[in-house]
C-alpha cells in the first residue's frame, strides 16, 4: 500500500439483505462519481471477518461495524473513523468498545426519500381503512367502508430526524396538521408545532395518526407503553418506522383485538424475522411490513456511498464529520 494513501476497509455481512452489500462492482460505480476522492484511498473489501484482522492492522477508516468489537484499539491502532451503513445504532450500544479519538458516523440522510413515499402510503392506508378492507377480501365479505377526506387530520410525529422529517413532509403533502415531538425542542419546517417528550401525554389524545420515528435509546425504550396507548383515540392509527421496543406491542395487539384502536402499520418488530407463532400475525387491522420502509431497493449502496464520500472530503480537510453519533446519547 502506498504510504500516502488512506486505508479504507469495507466490512460486509452476508446475512444482511443483498441491497446493503458493498460489492466491488458497486464500489467501482460509486468511485466514478468521486474520482478525486477515490484516488486518495487504498481499499479492501471483506466478508464476515475473512480478512478483517489483517485489514485492521493498517486501516484508517472502517465502513461497516464488525461483529467482534473488543480490544479494537489494539487491533486497529491507526483507526480514526468508523461508519455504519445503517441509521439505527442501538445494536452497537453501549459504545464502551469505541476507541478514544475514533469518530463514529451513521447513515442518516440515506433514507428520507423512500421513507417519505412509504409514509404517504401508510397514512392513506390507515385513513381509508385498508387493513379491514384486505381482511374482508380474504374473508370473501363485501362491506362498503367509506372514509372522509384525510385533509385536516392530525399526525403526531415522535422524532424529527431523517425518518421523522420524512413522515412530517408526507403528512403535509396530504394536508395533515403535524405536531412534532423531539428531545430538543427546535422549530421544524414541516411541523406546525414542536414539543418535548414531557408533553406526550397531553398530545396523544389529539392525534389521528401517531408515528414513531425516534431512535431507540434508554429514554425512548417503551416510550409508547400500555398507559400511553390508552391515551390514543379509538379512531387513531399507529405507524412505527423506528424500532419495535419503542412501543409495547403486546398492549398494542390487545387494543386492536378489542377494537380500541382503528389500525396500525409496523415496519419494525422484535425479533426480526418475526416468528411464525407471534400473535402479531393475526392481530386485526394490523399491517406488518418486513423492515423495508426506508431503504431504496435498487440504489441504497449508491446513495449511501455518495453521502460517505461527501464526509470523506470533510475528513481529508480536517473538518467535523456530518452524521456523527454521540456515544453518550446513543444517536
Q: What percent of the chain has pLDDT over 70?
A: 99
pLDDT of residue 4: 86
Q: State the chain's mean pLDDT as an integer.
A: 97
Of the candidates 34, 83, 111, 291, the residue annotated as catalytic is 291
Q: How high is the pLDDT of residue 330?
A: 87
- Mean pLDDT, to the nearest integer, of 119-148? 97
Calpha distance 230→89 (Å, rounded): 30
**Is 183 a residue of the active site?**
no
**243 an active-site residue?**
yes
* pLDDT for the residue numbered 3: 64
Active site residue 260: no
Tell me the whole-structure pTM to 2 decimals. 0.95
Q: What is the pLDDT of residues 180-224, one digit of tens each?
A: 999 989 889 999 999 999 999 999 999 999 999 999 999 999 999
* Grid cell for residue 182: 423531539
Q: Which of 34, 83, 182, 243 is catalytic?
A: 243
Q: What pLDDT, on a 0 to 100 scale, did the predictor assign at position 1?
A: 47
pLDDT tens per residue, range 12-65? 999 999 999 999 999 999 999 999 999 999 999 999 999 999 999 999 999 999
**pLDDT, tens only, 257-294:** 999 999 999 999 999 999 999 999 999 999 999 999 99
How far apart (Å, rounded) are the C-alpha atoms in residues 172 and 166?
10
Q: Which of 272, 314, 322, 329 is catalytic?
A: 272
Question: What domains are there in the chain, each with its CATH number?
Answer: 6-110+297-316 (3.40.50.720), 112-288 (3.40.50.720)
Amino acid at each position: 500500500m502506498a504510504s500516502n494513501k488512506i486505508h479504507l476497509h469495507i466490512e460486509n455481512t452476508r446475512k444482511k439483505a443483498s441491497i446493503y452489500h458493498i460489492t466491488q462492482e458497486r464500489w467501482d460505480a460509486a468511485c466514478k462519481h468521486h474520482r478525486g476522492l477515490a484516488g486518495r484511498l487504498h481499499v479492501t473489501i471483506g466478508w464476515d471477518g475473512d480478512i478483517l484482522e489483517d485489514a485492521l492492522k493498517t486501516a484508517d477508516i472502517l465502513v461497516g461495524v464488525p461483529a467482534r468489537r473488543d480490544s479494537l484499539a489494539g487491533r486497529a491502532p491507526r483507526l480514526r473513523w468508523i461508519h455504519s451503513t445503517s441509521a439505527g445504532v442501538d445494536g452497537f450500544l453501549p459504545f464502551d468498545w469505541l476507541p478514544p479519538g475514533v469518530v463514529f458516523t451513521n447513515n442518516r440522510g440515506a433514507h428520507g426519500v423512500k421513507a417519505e413515499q412509504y409514509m404517504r402510503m401508510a397514512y392513506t392506508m390507515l385513513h381509508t381503512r385498508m387493513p379491514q378492507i384486505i381482511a374482508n377480501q380474504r374473508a370473501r365479505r363485501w362491506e362498503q367502508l367509506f372514509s372522509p377526506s384525510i385533509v385536516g387530520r392530525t399526525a403526531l410525529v415522535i422524532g424529527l430526524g431523517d425518518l421523522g422529517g420524512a413522515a412530517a413532509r408526507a403528512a403535509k403533502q396530504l394536508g395533515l396538521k403535524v405536531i412534532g415531538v423531539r428531545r430538543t425542542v427546535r422549530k421544524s419546517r414541516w411541523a406546525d408545532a414542536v414539543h418535548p417528550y414531557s408533553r406526550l401525554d397531553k398530545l396523544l389524545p389529539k392525534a389521528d395518526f401517531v408515528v414513531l420515528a425516534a431512535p431507540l435509546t434508554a429514554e425512548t425504550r417503551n416510550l409508547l407503553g400500555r398507559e400511553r396507548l390508552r391515551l390514543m383515540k379509538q379512531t387513531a392509527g399507529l405507524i412505527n418506522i423506528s424500532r419495535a421496543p419503542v412501543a409495547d406491542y403486546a398492549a398494542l395487539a390487545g387494543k386492536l383485538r378489542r377494537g380500541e384502536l382503528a389500525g396500525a402499520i409496523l415496519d419494525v418488530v422484535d425479533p426480526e424475522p418475526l416468528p411464525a407463532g407471534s400473535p402479531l400475525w393475526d392481530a386485526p387491522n394490523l399491517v406488518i411490513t418486513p423492515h423495508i420502509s426506508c431503504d431504496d431497493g435498487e440504489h441504497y449502496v449508491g446513495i449511501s456511498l455518495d453521502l460517505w464520500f461527501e464526509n470523506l472530503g470533510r475528513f481529508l480537510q480536517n473538518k467535523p464529520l456530518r452524521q456523527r453519533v454521540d456515544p453518550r446519547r446513543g444517536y
